[in-house]
């Protein structure tokens, strides 16, 4: 089973600030997904990246897949309180399911 | 309409009891899953079920058993509950294996 690391583990920022969170593995993966989980709810898919070097934008969120397909980053511009949540990255694991990273808990203070 | 729904949302029970959590998806997906999220928010796969093929995570105790009456349902039955079973259990579905996951809102199980 491949293992994923995410950093930072916790992040607390003020509204309007920018931030970047990271997801890393020692292995190459075919694709990677980012999810956001809000308290009391299940994770919700934000994006899937499949090509090394790929950049995808979702409003104020920018996702990048590393050239070597071992890492990914999520950058949020001008964070808002509604961005608060647990950000999880996930990769396919031998075709049977997904392995999730431990997550980054983001808190955006008004 | 809720795509993946699971019941109950909260479940408090005593050690040794047997309980079930129900899950239904109306997305027409072929694959369903059960994940366990511990107190540190770490999500770990328990089972995946695709076209009547059950893939079991070998670390899951055999007190846990998934039951699928049809493609839209994957229930989780737990026998002889233990304190360490306390967690949030998420049902999920995907169109096929390796497709994005759609999660339910979780069942918070507390064993006292």
* DSSP class of B63: T
Per the structure, the count of domains in chain B is 1
* Selected residue of B100, B106, B107 to mutate for chain A interface (largest A Cβ count, 10 A): B100
- State the average pLDDT over residues A8-15: 97
Closest CA–CA distance from residue B41 to any residue of chain A (Å) = 7
**Residue B25 structural domain:** 4-111
Subunit contact A42:B104, Cβ cutoff 8 A:
yes
How sure is the predictor about A1, in pLDDT bands with cuts at 50, 70 and 90? low
Residue of B nearest to A94 (CA): B98
User: β-pairing, A19-24 with A5-7?
Assistant: antiparallel
How sure is the predictor about A36, in pLDDT bands with cuts at 50, 70 and 90? very high
User: β-pairing, A61-65 with A104-109?
Assistant: unpaired
Contacts of A99 in chain B (CB under 8 A): 45
Identify whether the C-beta of residue B106 lies closer than 8 Å to the C-beta of residue B37: yes
- State the average pLDDT over residues A84-107: 90
- State the average pLDDT over residues A22-35: 91
CA B47 to chain centre: 8
Identify whether the C-beta of residue B4 lies closer than 8 Å to the C-beta of residue A44: no
Query: Residue B93 sits in a domain of what CATH number?
Result: 2.60.40.10
In chain A, domain spans: 5-109
Q: For residue A78, what pLDDT is reported?
A: 97
Taking all residues of chain B, what is their mean pLDDT, rounded to a whole number? 92
Q: Please give the CATH topology (third level) of the domain spanning A5-109.
A: Immunoglobulin-like (2.60.40)
Q: For residue A81, what pLDDT is reported?
A: 96
Residue of B nearest to A30 (CA): B98
A23 pLDDT more than 70: yes
- Calpha distance B61→B35 (Å, rounded): 14
């Amino acid at each position: 089973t491949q293992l994923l690391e995410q950093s930072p583990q916790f992040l607390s920022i003020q509204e309007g600030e920018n931030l970047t969170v990271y997801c890393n593995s020692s292995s190459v993966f075919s694709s990677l997904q980012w999810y956001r989980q809000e308290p009391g709810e299940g994770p919700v898919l934000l994006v899937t990246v499949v090509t090394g070097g790929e950049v995808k934008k979702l409003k104020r969120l920018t996702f990048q897949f590393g050239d070597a397909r071992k890492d990914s980053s999520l950058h949020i511009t001008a964070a808002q309180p509604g961005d608060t949540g647990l950000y999880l990255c996930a990769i396919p694991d031998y075709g049977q399911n997904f392995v999730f990273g431990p997550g980054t808990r983001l808190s955006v203070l008004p | 309409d809720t795509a993946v729904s699971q019941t109950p949302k909260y479940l408090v029970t005593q050690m040794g009891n047997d309980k079930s959590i129900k899950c239904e998806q109306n997305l027409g997906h072929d694959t369903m899953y059960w994940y366990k999220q511990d107190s540190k928010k770490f999500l770990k796969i328990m089972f995946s079920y695709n076209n009547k093929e059950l893939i079991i995570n070998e670390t899951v105790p055999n007190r846990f058993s998934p039951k699928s009456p049809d493609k839209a349902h994957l229930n989780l039955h737990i026998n002889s509950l233990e304190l360490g079973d306390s967690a949030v259990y998420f049902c999920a579905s995907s169109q096929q294996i390796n497709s994005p996951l759609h999660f339910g809102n979780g069942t918070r199980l507390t064993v006292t």
